[in-house]
Amino acid sequence: MHLKGALHCHTKCSDGELTIQEVIKVYADLGFDFLALTDHDFLMRPNCYDRIKTLRTDMIIFKGIEMTVFEKGYVHVNKIRGHNEVLHIFNHPAEMDLPMDKAMARINAVGGRLPLDAVEITSKGFRTPEFEIPEIPYVKVATDDSHTRIGCGRAWIEMDCLRDKDKIIRAVRQGDFWNCFAENHHVNHFNVRLQGA
């Protein structure tokens, strides 16, 4: 089954403009099959995601959190929960505004403390190809990090996978998906790597 998904978005549970229900509707209307809600840890309102249980949607909704991690400055790591699996993604490294060697050192230091699976190659949904290099030893993933309606659907992943949270997480971890970007209303697909490579 072909699936389209977003792994980084914010709601009114932290600093997003839209409610959970509004975010889900926007992504559903854009043809997404799954969505990870990843509000900021230090802004998260208590029990905010309890609302998910009462919503009717065909989308797969992951509960996640954007963790603030101190490593020679603050960086962000998404922690996304499946049923049994957990996915960790180093967020928007381009926003650190560091020379590449220092950025890589910080990514690797965080990877020594947390079980990193992937690194974002986008900043607010815009491609940052300087981080699509083999020297960064993690799967590269496109996300839109949406905080507003206009930020939704700028970057996403697509995969051939069963509709199961843990299988989706394993596919991401294995790099078995395509990164996709909406650039000037054209969709560009980039292979991460071939399955089993």
Alpha helices in 114-174 (DSSP H): 165-173
Question: Hey, what are 157's tokens?
Answer: 């992943």
pTM of the model: 0.93
Question: Model confidence over 112-123: pLDDT tens digits?
Answer: 999 999 999 999
63-91 pLDDT, tens digit per residue, is 999 999 999 999 999 999 999 999 999 99
Number of domains composing the chain: 1
Which residues constitute the domain of residue 42?
2-191
The pLDDT value given to residue 125:
95
Helix (H, G, I), strand (E, B) or coil at 42: coil
Q: Does the pLDDT value for residue 99 go beyond 60? A: yes
CATH number at residue 119: 3.20.20.140
DSSP per-residue letters across 108-123: HHHHHHS---EEE-EE
Residues in Cβ contact with 156 at an 8 Å cutoff, skipping those fewer than 6 apart: 4, 5, 6, 32, 142, 143, 144, 180
Other CB atoms within 10 Å distance of the CB of residue 105: 14
196 pLDDT band, cuts 50/70/90, is: very low
